[in-house]
Amino acid sequence: MTPATPDIDTAVVGAGVGGLATAHALGRAGRGVHVFEAADAVGGRMRTLHSDGWRIDTGAEMLPSAGYTATWSLIRELGMAAEVSRVPGALSLWRGGRARPHAGRPLGLLTGGGLSPRARLELVRLQAGSGGDVGEPADPVTLEEFAASRSPEVRERFLYPLAAGFFGWRPERSAAAPLLAHLRSTGSTAHWRTYRGGMDALARRLAAGLQVSTGTAVHRVAAVPGGARLTLDGGTVTARSAVLAVPAPVAARLHPGAPADERGFLASCTFAPMLRVSLALARRPATAGGMRGFATLIPAAEDDLLNVITLDHNKHPDRAPDGRGLVSLIAAPPATAALMGAGDAEATAALAERAERYLPGLRSLVRRVHVHRFPHGLPEATPAALREHRTFRGRPARAVDYAGDWTQLRPCSEGAVASAQVTAARLLAHAAERPTSTHPVRPGRTLR
Ligand SMILES: Cc1cc2nc3c(=O)[nH]c(=O)nc-3n(C[C@H](O)[C@H](O)[C@H](O)COP(=O)(O)OP(=O)(O)OC[C@H]3O[C@@H](n4cnc5c(N)ncnc54)[C@H](O)[C@@H]3O)c2cc1C
């Protein structure tokens, strides 16, 4: 039986940027919010490890200056614009033994980027959305189907490596439209940015103004008369509303009683796993093939195991102590599943051995290794998920709602931050129909 007066007003499950931005928006609207986070720190897939002077971005790496409307609006609201700086030499594409600079920007198309004139023309049309060949985001066509009529160069040397490197996607599973919409809205990679102090800067700033309990896993969320009931290790908490700001498969597990118009999307919203190995180095490594700048994408035709190399010390000088280096290796999607099941030493050995081709002598420089595994790396945005999304979006506002990149089917941090506005508006509309008595959780309160 739910008490007439719930323990708290709104409970948010998950302190990634999606959950924190939702809590922030609700707080600004005058609601009492408490965030429950299973991990020992905030940030989720946008977390940074602060270790002996290294700042290791475990998930999200960067944000573009275009197309991230909700994120930039939040950054300005929090007065953080000066904490965001440009990523020099953002993206290169490996081809024929060389890192081709300026990938994904007009300069790259002008200078060639290792692509033929025909492929460059195709890319210009793709990014501009001209030629009537770019579907709307709701088009249920896989990337593989979409790419079938493109030249092999554009397919294998551009679209597939980007989909794999950005989202961990496999072209036969994910829909083309969200990737194309992302490329078109974010524009040139020359405008990539990163947070000084680590990609978790936004999450930390949001959390500083909120009530957050880290190390507190929520095991179950149920809609009950008058609101929601959460089951935690110490007992239960009742709330007028609850937001599940966790990846869709986790949300489905925590909320088995989700109504039918939510269940279809929750079930179809699968995630691509991602695995990154970060290597803290005694010094900056030598590079082959003219590799410099920040990230280099390696097409599957060149390497079936290693998909992205990032020179994090080039992203921002504060990522490694003076004179030291920081490099990350991201596994290619087809190899990720096997590496996820391997031990840290095995996964590191496999990727670092491969990386020697691009960074000769790398392994002799390694001082510390961090392996980051994301079973729920990024929403896959399959055609089935796109179809179910329409029903999900049209569902009525309820006491138990959701936030996160997947709710927008936008596989990036902008999707998570943008979801906050939508979710907060839905919860406020729902709560407006009900009485407003609330009791914020007191620190140290014993949970029954
Ligand atoms: C390797 C990688 C690279 C990426 N690179 C970029 C990039 O460069 N740019 C970009 O914009 N985006 C990038 N992304 C995507 C971006 O990180 C995500 O879109 C965004 O961080 C998602 O935020 P979220 O709040 O929706 O989910 P999450 O960050 O996953 O937050 C969910 C939170 O819920 C917590 N949680 C889970 N279960 C429970 C439970 N039972 N109880 C309580 N808490 C729970 C988790 O610990 C987590 O903190 C990347 C993602 C990955 C994995």
Question: Are 182 and 280 in a shared domain?
Answer: yes
What pLDDT sits at residue 347?
A: 98
Q: Do 405 and 379 contact (CB within 8 A), yes or no?
A: yes
What pLDDT sits at residue 442?
A: 40
Q: Is the CB of 67 under 6 A from ligand 1?
A: no
User: Domain of 290: which CATH number?
Assistant: 3.90.660.50
Q: Is the CB of 15 under 6 A from ligand 1?
A: yes
Question: Are 332 and 301 in a shared domain?
Answer: yes
For residue 404, give the nearest of 382, 414, 419, 423 by alpha carbon.
419
Whether 74 shows a pLDDT value over 90: the answer reads yes
Atom of ligand 1 nearest to the CA of 58: 1
Report the percentage of the chain scoring pLDDT > 70. Answer: 91
Q: Is the CB of 264 under 6 A from ligand 1?
A: no
Whether 264 shows a pLDDT value over 90: the answer reads yes
Q: Is the CB of 246 under 6 A from ligand 1?
A: yes
For residue 239, being part of any structural domain is answered with yes
For residue 443, being part of any structural domain is answered with no
Domain that includes residue 400, residue range: 8-49+201-269+382-431
The Å distance, Cα 117 to ligand 1 centre, comes to: 38
Q: Name the pLDDT band for 436 (thresholds 50, 70, 90).
A: low
Q: Name the pLDDT band for 205 (thresholds 50, 70, 90).
A: very high
For residue 82, give the nearest of 238, 205, 241 by alpha carbon.
205
Whether 425 shows a pLDDT value over 90: the answer reads yes
Digit-coded pLDDT (tens) for 179-191:
988 988 888 888 8
Digit-coded pLDDT (tens) for 135-154:
445 568 999 999 998 999 88
What pLDDT sits at residue 138?
A: 52
Digit-coded pLDDT (tens) for 33-59:
999 999 999 999 999 999 999 999 999
Give the least confident one: 138-147, 167-176, 228-237, 408-417: 138-147
Question: Are 157 and 300 in a shared domain?
Answer: yes
Atom of ligand 1 nearest to the CA of 404: 26
Q: Is the CB of 277 under 6 A from ligand 1?
A: no
What pLDDT sits at residue 106?
A: 60
Question: Are 265 and 292 in a shared domain?
Answer: no
What is the number of other CB atoms lying within 10 angstroms of the CB of residue 317? Answer: 11
What pLDDT sits at residue 118?
A: 82
Atom of ligand 1 nearest to the CA of 36: 43
Q: Is the CB of 101 under 6 A from ligand 1?
A: no
Whether 294 shows a pLDDT value over 80: the answer reads yes
Q: Is the CB of 14 under 6 A from ligand 1?
A: yes
Q: Is the CB of 404 under 6 A from ligand 1?
A: yes
For residue 152, being part of any structural domain is answered with yes
For residue 300, being part of any structural domain is answered with yes
What pLDDT sits at residue 104?
A: 65
The Å distance, Cα 115 to ligand 1 centre, comes to: 34
What pLDDT sits at residue 365?
A: 98
Q: Is the CB of 17 under 6 A from ligand 1?
A: yes
The Å distance, Cα 19 to ligand 1 centre, comes to: 10
Q: Is the CB of 115 under 6 A from ligand 1?
A: no
For residue 66, being part of any structural domain is answered with no
Could you tell me which residue, 267 or 154, shows the higher pLDDT? Answer: 267
Q: Is the CB of 274 under 6 A from ligand 1?
A: yes
CA angle 282, 374, 50 (to 5 degrees): 40
The Å distance, Cα 416 to ligand 1 centre, comes to: 8
Question: Are 189 and 313 in a shared domain?
Answer: yes
Q: Name the pLDDT band for 127 (thresholds 50, 70, 90).
A: confident
What pLDDT sits at residue 112?
A: 56
Q: Is the CB of 13 under 6 A from ligand 1?
A: yes
Question: Are 351 and 323 in a shared domain?
Answer: yes
Question: Are 173 and 281 in a shared domain?
Answer: yes
The Å distance, Cα 64 to ligand 1 centre, comes to: 17
Question: Are 188 and 143 in a shared domain?
Answer: yes
Lookup: tokens for 352? 């670092």
For residue 76, being part of any structural domain is answered with no
What pLDDT sits at residue 144?
A: 96
- Alpha-carbon span 22 to 200, nearest angstrom: 16
Question: Are 180 and 276 in a shared domain?
Answer: yes
Q: Is the CB of 230 under 6 A from ligand 1?
A: no
Q: Name the pLDDT band for 110 (thresholds 50, 70, 90).
A: low
What pLDDT sits at residue 1?
A: 44
Digit-coded pLDDT (tens) for 302-328:
999 999 999 999 999 999 999 999 999
Whether 363 shows a pLDDT value over 90: the answer reads yes
Q: Name the pLDDT band for 5 (thresholds 50, 70, 90).
A: confident
Question: Are 45 and 177 in a shared domain?
Answer: no
Q: Is the CB of 160 under 6 A from ligand 1?
A: no
Question: Are 294 and 427 in a shared domain?
Answer: no
Q: Is the CB of 273 under 6 A from ligand 1?
A: no
What pLDDT sits at residue 117?
A: 80
The Å distance, Cα 45 to ligand 1 centre, comes to: 3
What pLDDT sits at residue 189?
A: 85
SS (H, E, C) the chain: CCCCCCCEEEEEECCEHHHHHHHHHHHHCCCCEEEECCCCCCEHHHCEEEECCEEEECCCCCEECCCCHHHHHHHHHCCCHHHEEECCCCEEEEECCEEECCCCCHHHHHHCCCCCHHHHHHHHHHHHCCCCCCCCCCCCCEHHHHHCCCCHHHHHHHHHHHHHHHHCCCCCCCEHHHHHHHHHHHCCHHHEEEECCCCCHHHHHHHHCCEEECCCCEEEEEEECCEEEEEECCEEEEEEEEEECCCHHHHHHHCCCCCHHHHHHHHHCCEEEEEEEEEEECCCCCCCCCCCCCEEECCCCCCCCEEEEEEHHHHCHHHCCCCCEEEEEEECHHHHHHHHHCCHHHHHHHHHHHHCCCCCCHHHHEEEEEEEEEEEEEECCCHHHHHHHHHHHCCCCCCEEECCHHHHCCCCHHHHHHHHHHHHHHHHHHHCCCCCCCCCCCCCCCCC
- The residue whose C-alpha atom lies closest to atom 26 belonging to ligand 1 is 404
Whether 445 shows a pLDDT value over 60: the answer reads no
Whether 438 shows a pLDDT value over 60: the answer reads no
Sequence-separated contacts (24+) of 386-389 with Cβ below 8 Å: 386/137, 386/138, 386/139, 386/140, 386/175, 386/177, 386/178, 387/140, 387/268, 388/264, 388/265, 388/267, 388/268, 388/269, 389/138, 389/265
Digit-coded pLDDT (tens) for 10-40:
999 999 999 999 999 999 999 999 999 999 9
Q: Is the CB of 45 under 6 A from ligand 1?
A: yes
Q: Name the pLDDT band for 439 (thresholds 50, 70, 90).
A: very low
Question: Are 287 and 370 in a shared domain?
Answer: yes
What pLDDT sits at residue 432?
A: 85
What pLDDT sits at residue 135?
A: 44
**Total tally of structural domains belonging to the chain:** 2
Whether 351 shows a pLDDT value over 90: the answer reads yes
What pLDDT sits at residue 115?
A: 74
Q: To the nearest whole number, what is the mean pLDDT of the chain?
A: 91
Could you tell me which residue, 96 or 120, shows the higher pLDDT? Answer: 96
Task: Name the residue of 218, 246, 371 to mutate for ligand 1: max ligand atoms within 8 A of Cβ.
Answer: 246
What is the number of other CB atoms lying within 10 angstroms of the CB of residue 51? Answer: 12
Q: Do 62 and 90 contact (CB within 8 A), yes or no?
A: yes
What pLDDT sits at residue 108?
A: 57
User: Domain of 33: which CATH number?
Assistant: 3.50.50.60
What pLDDT sits at residue 448?
A: 30
For residue 69, being part of any structural domain is answered with no
Digit-coded pLDDT (tens) for 404-421:
999 999 999 999 999 999
For residue 63, being part of any structural domain is answered with no
